[in-house]
Structure 1
Amino acid sequence: MRAPLTLAVSAALVAGTALGLAPAAHAAPPAATDAANSVRFVDIAGDGGTVLKANVVTPAGAGAGTGARYPVIVLPTSWAMPQIEYLVQAKKLADSGYVVVSYNSRGFWQSGGEIETAGPKDVADASKVIDWALANTPADPAKVGMAGVSYGAGISLLAAAHDKRIKAVAALSGWADLIESIYSGRTQHLQAAALLGGAGYLTGRPGPELKAILGDFLSSNLAKEGEMIAWGEKRSPAAYLDRINANGAAIMLGNAWGDTIFPPNQYASFYEKLQGPKRLEFRPGDHATAEATGLFGLPNDTWTSAHRWFDHHLKGVDNGIDREQPVQLKSRSTGGYEGYPDWKSVGANERKIALGGSQRIWANIDSGANGGVVLLSNLLDQLIKAPPVASIPLLPRSFAGVWQSERYDTPQRVRGTAKLHTTVTSTKESGTLVAYLYDVGPLGLGKLVSNAPYTFHGKTPGTPFPVDLELFSTAYDVPAGHRLALVVDTVDPLYIEHNPTGAQLTFSSPAADPSYLSVPLRAE
């Protein structure tokens, strides 16, 4: 068993540094004023009277006896972040005529209570903060919005399902399906869960339920799998889709292609099922890195879109956002945006790579192909286009299955979700495999395009069974003269593997059910 706590502590410190988390944030922020707007630090009574530390930013001249009402935006903080997280964005919003209330989610920093992980108390807290804003600020009850990054995004979506007053949401780097986020392919996302758990212990007070769930998750206590899934579903906005649609809030979703905590697939699936006004934006990066610069006041496309979204849906500004293609993607390979009418149009073309023959590999050995390091690897891809790499010719075939396409004469613009279909025979009843898609240059060096894990249990040894696996969605341009390669092995530091000692996996392609990799391509 690996050492998840050590990893969690280290990763939490890296994450905190990347997003501007300072140890001094334990101290109460001083009161401040600005020439254009005012900032107040207040205590708000959340669900059950739990004290939530908050700050309120109001437009210049608000509350001066004018009787004017302003649209209000509520911002729950991200996991492990202090209440000053959104202060820069809050002041920008106040400058343009919004009342903004940002609060520290319960269980973190100086807010009371214990960490509920977007449970019912967190959802009730959001409504209590709206109540407070309407009673104590010049907020317009008909123009209520919510937004947040990561944890704040999840809480905002859940609140939109339970509070009809919420008219618009900007959910950035969040989740719609918690199970598909950190337990996709029924495989524990080790580094993601350990990062969240470690950061929670460092900056907050995990409740007994979270402690139990995290312990069972990281220790692979499969006897409690049903409880863990039920716990995650209760905290998944996708489980309340009917309520969200009935309430009709305008929903904007933004995420990064390489988000190692909340991969983009689950957001795209959720987006397609939304029935009200909606927008989906994907950009290069890892968890919350697409929004990070905006928290410091630097130019940021994600926050610009969020402001435009609120301006249109809360203030009625005719800024054209409703006439744009609602799905906006930025490729990892180019600098421009691409617009699509819906998610299914993203990968309208499909190229199948046949996975012929039969390959057998030994489990429990890392072949050298892997998905990188949580937060770091995809941040490097975002900043300098340097994703994880592997030398495809040098991968040991005893531990990795490898299939390659022909060399392409023209660029292949991969857009959307690649899908693997194959037949597996295991010598043991359980096991884990990880699939990787690489862009392979003339010298055999492969750049990671996407990956995804898959775990099985209860299979009859020696009996073939089909495997269907969706790789994490992406947008990547394969240059002319390159080829695509599918690599499958059984160990990746990002995930917990379930391979018994001595296990072997055989990948075959029966004539009646051929194996293939379906690659979605942009329609030119």
Structure 2
Amino acid sequence: MMTPSRTTLRAAIGTVSAAVLATTVLTGAPATAQAATPEAAPAATASAGSASVRFVDIKGDGGITLKANVFTPAGADGTRRYPVIVLPTSWAMPQVEYMAQAKKLADAGYVVVGYNSRGFWQSGGQIETAGPEDIADASKVIDWALANTPADPQKVGMGGVSYGAGISLLAAAFDKRIKVVAALSGWANLIDSIYSERTQHLQAAAMLGGAGELTGRPSPELRTVLKDFLASNLSKEKDLIAWGKKRSPATYLDRINANGAAIMLGNAWGDSLFPPNQYADFFEKLKGPKRLEFRPGDHATAEGLGLFGLPNDTWTDTKRWFDHYLKGADNGIDKESPVLLKSRSTGAYEGYKSWKDVPSAHRKIALDGSRQINTNWDSGADGGLIFLSSMLDQFFRLPPMASIPLLPRSLAAVWQTERYETGQRVRGTTRLHTTVTSTAESGTAIAYLYDVGPLGVGKLVTHAPFTFHGKTPGQPFGVDMELFSTAYDVPAGHKLAVVVDTVDPLYIEHNPSGARLTFSSPADDPSYVSVPVRD
């Protein structure tokens, strides 16, 4: 397997360290401290009248041990049943990840079972990356909860962050007992997430691989997939796509719809691992009760503070979702607009009746003329670094920036609008259509949309990469692609700029040495970028 870089390992170690710190804050004990058996872990009550917690071993698929914690409402005496919520952990996180939120839910009348996903930390097995074994584990945990807690078999919910979100959605396709899902910062299409437009998301894959090696036991299959992925082994591309499709909730959409679980999806605009587009597409195809929430931030940062027990909008709505669809509470969430967006620029919330209704118009930016650029050199335009860049945008409104006038035109194709007299509320998914001619059969380009102020400094609105293979050198071909969805307000007096270059530290590029790309706009097929706006 390709060895992760020192920088990647440091990032992964930082992630794990943060998890350990969170655990210590929430429980007053090290993250790895837990009882080996249910008998060795007597129930601990935080205060009179509050929920109790115990650590247990649950037998997963194939007989492996899943380390878990169980919160039970205060006063539970076996005479009544309670709704149950099952929470699989995130990738590389210890089994105490959800303890703060689990206690809150248990205090509100839920049985809550949080368990360490197989292959990580002290749970048995290997990391199967939300494979069939993980789906079977989820059902085994539900079986255990119904047999060993006062859980109501008619009121079963699942949820989680990141990896836990993906497993929960997949389980909802295969276990009809699951009535409600809250999937936060997860994925619906794994390939569209880390291999969008045939471009490997380098930093994302390396971080996941490094964190998996540090905190768990990757399966041989996962190690092989990551090795081929990071080495750009195109002979294994079909295998990669089949592997990812098997682990994508979107593959089982018909089963999810048939089972009818009420599904809430939450994500961040700048999610480095699972971009928002794939969630939005999945949401539109769901037939049952559904809700979609997008907020500023990066992977899991929109709900991250809630894991410490701090006030958090995402977790507040998650509880309301469970309250209505598991308990039958008349809290109004079913009557609200099912799409809730929080602007990156203003922090204001906006509600819409569907994802397609988010933009009310589209502004076309003509990509006129012809632009030729050299490949393999970074122009200075880029999408930033995973986690860091979108967190700076979330907390300080400082997205990645570039000086548009100073971008070398030999390395970056640039088009700009005139200054807008009124502000432009970009809402939804920007689309690019252009004609490309390459001097090589393979190549990669990254398209960026910038908000350009009076001094020429561009703030990144959105971006996305695309890669091509098997093209005839010198022969033009069309490109249609989506940039990552967003909600960003361009101030009056600013311009929008479209920039295309060929190198970005987030991605693996496939440009042979000395290759050039030409972007043109034929008269019978003009090139453009369509920007979704809300008037």
Q: What range describes the TM-score normalised by the shorter chain of this pair?
A: over 0.9
> 2:270 matched to 1:258?
yes
Measured against aligned partners, the alpha-carbon deviations of 1:180-217 in whole angstroms (never above 9, x if no partner) come to 00000100000000010000000000000000000000
> 2:64 matched to 1:44?
no
> 2:380 matched to 1:349?
no
Distance 1:107 1:3 in 2: 20
Distance 1:85 1:26 in 2: 11
Look up the match of 1:88: 100
Measured against aligned partners, the alpha-carbon deviations of 1:221-248 in whole angstroms (never above 9, x if no partner) come to 1100000000000000000000000000
Distance 1:285 1:340 in 2: 20
SS of the residue 2:159 aligns to = strand
Distance 1:504 1:75 in 2: 49
Look up the match of 2:27: none
- Which of 394, 400, 409 is 1:388 aligned to? 400
1:503-522 superposed matches below 5 A: 503-522=515-534
User: What are structure 1's unaligned runs of at least 5 residues?
Assistant: none
Distance 2:384 2:84 in 1: 40
Look up the match of 1:215: 227
Counterpart of 2:16 in structure 1: which amino acid? G
Look up the match of 1:368: 380
1:59-458 superposed matches below 5 A: 59-62=73-76, 64-65=77-78, 67-458=79-470
Distance 1:94 1:497 in 2: 48
Give the deviation of 1:3 after TM superposition: 7.0
**Percent of aligned pairs sharing the same letter:** 75
Give the deviation of 1:17 after TM superposition: 4.1
Counterpart of 1:60 in structure 2: which amino acid? A
SS of the residue 2:524 aligns to = coil
Aligned residues: 520
Measured against aligned partners, the alpha-carbon deviations of 1:448-476 in whole angstroms (never above 9, x if no partner) come to 00010000000000000001110000000
Measured against aligned partners, the alpha-carbon deviations of 1:253-306 in whole angstroms (never above 9, x if no partner) come to 000000010000000000000000000000000000001100001110000000
Give the deviation of 1:7 after TM superposition: 3.5
SS of the residue 2:493 aligns to = coil
Look up the match of 2:13: 13
Distance 2:215 2:34 in 1: 14
8 Å contact 1:8–1:197 — kept in the other structure? no
> 2:468 matched to 1:468?
no
Query: Bigger shift: 461-470 or 19-28?
Result: 19-28
> Structure 1 residues 53, 3: CA separation in 2 closer, same or farther (over 3 Å shift)?
closer
Counterpart of 1:11 in structure 2: which amino acid? A
Distance 1:11 1:423 in 2: 38
Aligned CA RMSD, in angstroms, stands at 1.2
Distance 2:302 2:342 in 1: 11
SS of the residue 1:323 aligns to = coil
Measured against aligned partners, the alpha-carbon deviations of 1:296-340 in whole angstroms (never above 9, x if no partner) come to 011100000000000000000000000000000000001211000
1:491-510 superposed matches below 5 A: 491-510=503-522
Give the deviation of 1:4 after TM superposition: 3.9
Measured against aligned partners, the alpha-carbon deviations of 1:140-198 in whole angstroms (never above 9, x if no partner) come to 00000000000000000000000000000000000000000000010000000001000
Distance 1:94 1:22 in 2: 18
TM (norm. structure 1) is 0.98
Give the deviation of 1:347 after TM superposition: 1.4
Counterpart of 2:284 in structure 1: which amino acid? E
Distance 2:4 2:517 in 1: 27
Distance 1:254 1:234 in 2: 22
8 Å contact 1:4–1:191 — kept in the other structure? no
Give the deviation of 1:436 after TM superposition: 0.5
SS of the residue 1:517 aligns to = strand
TM (norm. structure 2) is 0.96
> 2:68 matched to 1:54?
yes
> Structure 1 residues 331, 25: CA separation in 2 closer, same or farther (over 3 Å shift)?
same
